[in-house]
Amino acid sequence: DADVTQTPRNRITKTGKRIMLECSQTKGHDRMYWYRQDPGLGLRLIYYSFDVKDINKGEISDGYSVSRQAQAKFSLSLESAIPNQTALYFCATGVGDGGRMTDTQYFGPGTRLTVL
Amino acid sequence: GQQLNQSPQSMFIQEGEDVSMNCTSSSIFNTWLWYKQDPGEGPVLLIALYKAGELTSNGRLTAQFGITRKDSFLNISASIPSDVGIYFCAGREGNAGGTSYGKLTFGQGTILTVHP
C-alpha cells in the first residue's frame, strides 16, 4: 500500500463549486504539505502543517483552505473553484526531527483537477 | 519571494548520452534536493545535499552543492530510457527554528526525453 494517498485522483468540476481534496498518510510523519503544479512553474506551496494544531499559509494560499483532521489526514478545499485553479495538486509529508530528515518530503501520487 | 531558476527547461537526448542540469537561487540555500517525477506520479527524492561543496552520487546520478550555496547541479551518466521524466531541484533557505525551516522552494523542472 502507498504511504501517501490522495483522493480523488482526477476531478472535473464547474466554476463556483466547492471541492475538497483528501490526503492520508501511513508514514507517521507530523508534517504535511499541499502543493500545486503548473507546467513551467514547478511546485508551489499552498499550505503546510507542522502538527495537528499548526496550520500555515504557503506562497499561494488565496482561494484555498485546509483542515488537519488528524496527524494522518490533511485536506485541501477550494471554496469556490475558478478555472485558473486547474492544476495538478500534490500532498507531501515530512519528518520534523530538527535534523537533516526535516528537509526530505515524500509526495503522494497527485490529484488532477479541472475547473470548467 | 525566493527565486529558483532551473535549466534547461527540456532536453532531448540519445540513450547512452550524459545529461547535466542546474539550479541557481537568488539567495543562499542551506539544503539542496533533487527529485524526479515520473508521468502520473508524485516527485521522488533522488539526492540530498547539506553542505557547500558536497558531491554526492546515487548510481548513475551525481549532484553537487555549489560553493557559493546559491547553485546546484545534477548529472546523469549513460542515460537509459527509464530516465525519462521531470527533474526538480528544491532548496531550503532557513536554519533550524526559523520560519522557513522545513519549507522547500522548487525549481520549474527539467523535462528529460531519452530516445532509444
Closest residue in B to A37 (Cα) is B108
3-class DSSP state of A112: strand
- The answer to whether B79 touches B19, Cβ cutoff 8 Å, is yes
Closest residue in A to B94 (Cα) is A103
Any CB–CB contact under 8 A between B24 and chain A? no
B85: its cell numbers: 521524466
Any CB–CB contact under 8 A between B18 and chain A? no
A61-97 burial code (b ≥16 CB/10 A, e <16): eeebebebeebbebbbebeebeeebbbbbbbbbbbee
pLDDT for B78 equals: 97
CA distance A91 to A115: 19
- Rounded mean pLDDT, B97-103: 56
Measure in Å the smallest separation between the Cα of B13 and chain A Cα atoms: 20
Check B6 against A42: CB less than 8 A apart.
yes
Cβ-based contacts under 8 A for chains A and B: 62
Any CB–CB contact under 8 A between B40 and chain A? yes
pLDDT band, residue B36 (cuts 50/70/90): very high
> Bridge-partner residues for B89, per DSSP?
B34
pLDDT for B95 equals: 57
Measured in degrees and rounded to the nearest 5, phi and psi for residue B83 equal -75, -10
Chain B residues inside the 8 Å CB shell of A104? 33, 45, 48
Residue A45 has pLDDT above 60, yes or no: yes
- Rounded mean pLDDT, B107-114: 94
pLDDT for B40 equals: 85
- Rounded mean pLDDT, A109-116: 96
